[in-house]
Amino acid sequence: MTRTLVGGGGRPGTLPPQVIAILTAELPSLAGEIVEEVRRSVPEYARQAGMSAPAAYQVTVEQAIAAFLDQFSGGGDSYARRDELCRELGRSEAYQGRTLDALQAAYRVGVQVAWRRVASVARERRLPAEVMTRLAEALFAYIDELASLSVEGYLEVRSSADELPGDHRRLLRMVLNPGAASGALAEAAAAAGWAVPDTVTMVAMPSGARCVREAMDGDVLVNLADAEPHLLIPGGYGPERAAMLNRALPERRSAVGLTVPLGEAADSLRWARRALALVEAGCLEDGGPTLCERHLLELWLLSDGPLLDQLARRELGALVAMPRTRRMRMTETLVAWLDAQGNAVEAANRLRLHPQTVRYRMRQISATFDRQLADPAARFVLDAVLRAYRLRERRPALK
């Protein structure tokens, strides 16, 4: 893309170094002000779903402002990072299923905030009118260029999504709709030339995930335009499908649901989305595609956070009053003892302690948890609550 921002076919000219230094000093606070004003002024971004990662947006704004100032200083020969960030904004709008109106409104708000700041600084520092004119012309032309880059990213995703025929999109919606009639699904599948499978495996992807459609098997149904992108793999998830997914999803983060009968596809997708949320929360490790079949216990234990909190208050309430250090010590000892099925020697090996130390601690713990430890059903609940908290918090069971 050309870098002509002001008439004349070249750079917008240079500015005195002291002017560039003055404007550069405004960059961090200006970027934050732009992001906040966009969130305040544009309804789509005022909602959490509209701007789920404010820090990422601020980085984009900072990069754009820095690149703008570089043009005046003679630096910034490479615009690759800035260009990609702007295109990613456009892609994000497309992935969220929105039009470009919100993003274009955000650009308008951004340039207004930027110009107000420049004008204020110019008045305070008494910058020459010639400098102000040059900055104004360059700034408004620059915003047009950034908006064009975002449009490129938006159209890139939309054209990719459009590669999926309309009848395939309808098929995917029908499969995920438990109320869809089997006859209607069979008829739609025949019209699309899609063989109805007995079983399916759903895959959940994060918002904004890149997908290489050319690398996807022809029988896979994909929805990239949804706020929560997903795809359907006919049949199971074996090595060949895994290799395909790795090629088709370069960023690798995704969650693969269980292979289920066709009528239970919505359940497979729900579990996959839950697993993906646990990865993003740090409860499950992000090792490329996360397979639900390897994390069934975690998905079950963490399926209802508020209920888990209620159980913790009932089962572990006695630990709350303890000092933090003692609470951590008692908790890790109890977990090891339960894992070792009451064998103090094995629990000591897990904790790298002397067995007598474990027995001493367990005598203290038994005074508090005597009922739970004596009753098999209560002991199971206690064990489940401790395991769930260890997974969810990735730190001692109680904070």
- CA distance to 33, 86, 92, 235, 299, per residue, from 57 (Å): 12, 10, 11, 39, 31
- Over residues 315-330, the pLDDT tens digits come to 777 776 777 788 778 8
Q: Which of 272, 167, 189, 182 is nearest to 230 (CA)?
A: 272
The two most distant CA atoms of the chain are separated, in Å, by 86
Most confident of 90-99, 129-138, 316-325: 129-138
Q: pTM to 2 decimals? A: 0.53
- CA distance to 33, 53, 59, 95, per residue, from 68 (Å): 17, 23, 14, 28
Dist. CA 354–CA 293, nearest whole Å = 37
| pLDDT at residue 166 in the model | 57
| pLDDT at residue 67 in the model | 83
- Over residues 284-293, the pLDDT tens digits come to 887 779 999 9
Strand partners, 261: 199
| pLDDT at residue 245 in the model | 92
Q: Which residue has the higher pLDDT, 132 or 97?
A: 132
Q: Going by C-beta distance under 8 Å and a sequence separation of 6 or more, which residues neighbour residue 126?
A: none
Stretch 56-63: mean pLDDT: 76
Tell me which amino acid residue 324 is: R
For each of the domains in the chain, give its residue range(s) and CATH number, in order of start.
17-162 (1.10.490), 197-301 (no CATH), 305-393 (1.10.10.2840)
pLDDT band for position 392 (50/70/90)? low
Q: Which residue has the higher pLDDT, 206 or 257?
A: 257
Q: Which residue has the higher pLDDT, 292 or 156?
A: 292
Query: Is 38's pLDDT higher than 80?
Result: yes
